[in-house]
């Protein structure tokens, strides 16, 4: 860890590196707390916006990978500010939702909170058209 580097910076760099390699599930397994809270911008009856616990987040992520064909994706960051427990990542994705065949290009911002060397919350902000 470089001098002045916060835990959020260190974990943020690891998360971005894993996401760039398409290893999102490995990021969950290695960097996330057991009690991780995940909050999407929108939810549905089947998939509520707020989910809690590493098992629920693993299932959500597995579902996502199973149901999307990824044409390209990138993760930029991490971005860090004055809060030492927070980092942000910008994601761009070009994906096809397999059940409908609909192809979408999207950009989103992930906001991450770190505590005791683990990611304890992830929150996704979607681009508003």
CB of 16 to a copy of itself, least distance (A): 9
Is position 87 an interface residue for a copy of itself (rule: CB under 8 A)?
yes
For a copy of itself, the closer of residues 74 and 98 by Cβ is 74
CB-based burial, 10-38: b 16+ in 10 Å, e otherwise: bbbbbbbebbeeeebeebbeebbbeebbb
123 binds a copy of itself (CB under 8 A): yes
Nearer to a copy of itself, 88 or 119 (CB): 88
39 contacts a copy of itself (rule: CB under 8 A): yes
Distances (CA, A) of 8 to 1, 5, 85, 103, 107: 11, 8, 6, 33, 22
The correct pick among 90, 93, 94, 96 for binding a copy of itself (CB under 8 A) is 90
For residue 20, the SS3 value is helix
Going by their DSSP bridges, the two strands 102-115 and 50-52 should be labelled as unpaired
Give the nearer residue to a copy of itself in terms of CB position, either 36 or 78. Answer: 78
Q: Does 111 bind a copy of itself (CB under 8 A)?
A: yes
State how beta strands 32-39 and 50-52 pair: antiparallel
Give the binding site for a copy of itself (CB under 8 A).
5, 9, 12-13, 39-41, 49-50, 76-83, 86-88, 90, 107-109, 111, 123-128
């Amino acid at each position: 860890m470089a001098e002045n580097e916060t835990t959020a910076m260190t974990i943020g760099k690891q998360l971005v590196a894993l996401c760039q390699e398409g290893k999102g599930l490995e990021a969950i397994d290695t960097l996330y707390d057991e009690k991780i809270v995940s909050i999407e911008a929108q939810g549905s009856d089947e998939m509520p916006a707020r989910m809690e616990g590493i098992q629920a987040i693993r299932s959500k992520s597995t579902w996502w990978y199973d149901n999307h064909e990824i044409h390209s994706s990138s993760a930029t960051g991490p971005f860090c500010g004055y809060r030492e427990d927070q980092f942000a990542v910008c994601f761009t994705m070009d994906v096809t939702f397999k059940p409908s065949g609909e192809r979408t290009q999207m950009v989103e911002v992930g906001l991450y909170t770190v505590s005791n060397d683990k990611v304890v919350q992830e929150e996704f902000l979607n681009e508003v058209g």
